[in-house]
Structure 1
């Protein structure tokens, strides 16, 4: 395993096959005083119980490959299936005209501190206001549980530039920052080399 000493007051060089992301953790410690969004007649939220791994990976990739989502793609099918069907893990998809147009995944492994594990829309649904509607459903479900004391999530500089502002506008407050160094998923072929141009691919 390679290692490097991080300079907390300057630059730290990384190998070309690595990327570094600034991760911001956010939390919501009380239910919002009013719904985040109104009703939408054209969309339904459907529970996705025990999804086929291939179907999940397809939707995961469609939503996240432009933002370098790769965590779930790196697992073999058995391990990913165990995660998706683990007790406390709930997966939902917004559906329009029979098509899944997003992903909402909430991890209740710690019932007092549920985590928004994954949240996103397919590219064609971005900018329609559907994201705020989907977050409204997540917030409603989480805070309807009497055990909930805190709802939290994290986002990073690999994600959409709008993500952090969106989460804050929904009532989440930042409380911690970390640096994540990881293998560039484009170097290993898990994602195409043209994905995530906001985090340039350096290998020839």
Structure 2
């Protein structure tokens, strides 16, 4: 089944190997007035220039596989290197005691409307305040550029249920919703069938 008619006032059945996500787009048109977080002496923000594809995918999985992050995992290593090295794409990682604790990726392809392309922490860093610190670094970089008119991002229902609340608390405001239907990455073998339990995996006999 390559397409279905979406019922905007009811249910639309999907094949078991597909997942449907509600995507929320958020934006801010001016920097926050107050700081999001205090100074931290235990963490440094390091620019990750031309990351090795294997190393990038390892960190990407650690951060996002429980939330069904899969976009970058679908790319072959050569294609991923090209995407990561695209003009305007900047990648940073917060480092504590020599260990990468998260991912911050900003896309400046449209200089007036930079996008927070990827933002996340490894599981052990969640709830430590590192997220607000990392977002403060992102906003400082974005709003230091005179071209910036709007900073935006999108998140979805397969992400952490805390994501929208976190982004709103940082000053972003929702402005649009969309529905995304994609192959379930667990059905394709890209992610383990135990990942993303908040989006139940509907195993068919030839996929279990």
TM-score (norm 1): 0.99
Partner of 1:168: 168
For 1:114 and 1:80, how far apart are their aligned partners in 2?
20
Partner of 2:138: 138
For 1:74 and 1:68, how far apart are their aligned partners in 2?
12
1:24 pairs with 2:3: no
Compute the RMSD of aligned alpha carbons: 0.6
Question: Gapped runs of 5+ residues in structure 2?
Answer: none
Shift of residue 78, structure 1, vs aligned partner = 1.2
Shift of residue 203, structure 1, vs aligned partner = 1.2
Shift of residue 148, structure 1, vs aligned partner = 0.1
| 1:38-187 superposed matches below 5 A | 38-187=38-187
For 2:34 and 2:111, how far apart are their aligned partners in 1?
23
Shift of residue 18, structure 1, vs aligned partner = 0.2
For 2:18 and 2:94, how far apart are their aligned partners in 1?
34
For 2:36 and 2:103, how far apart are their aligned partners in 1?
18
Question: Gapped runs of 5+ residues in structure 1?
Answer: none
Q: SS of the residue aligned with 1:71?
A: coil
For 1:157 and 1:203, how far apart are their aligned partners in 2?
20
Shift of residue 186, structure 1, vs aligned partner = 0.1
Shift of residue 34, structure 1, vs aligned partner = 1.8
TM-score (norm 2): 0.97
Q: 4+ residue runs of structure 1 moved beyond 4 angstroms?
A: none
Shift of residue 154, structure 1, vs aligned partner = 0.2
Any idea what the Cα deviations from partners look like across 1:145-171, whole Å, max 9, x if unmatched?
000000000000000000000000000
1:189 pairs with 2:186: no
For 1:3 and 1:203, how far apart are their aligned partners in 2?
21
What is the aligned residue count? 204
For 2:139 and 2:153, how far apart are their aligned partners in 1?
12
Q: Which moved more, 1:78-87 or 1:168-177?
A: 78-87
For 2:46 and 2:53, how far apart are their aligned partners in 1?
17
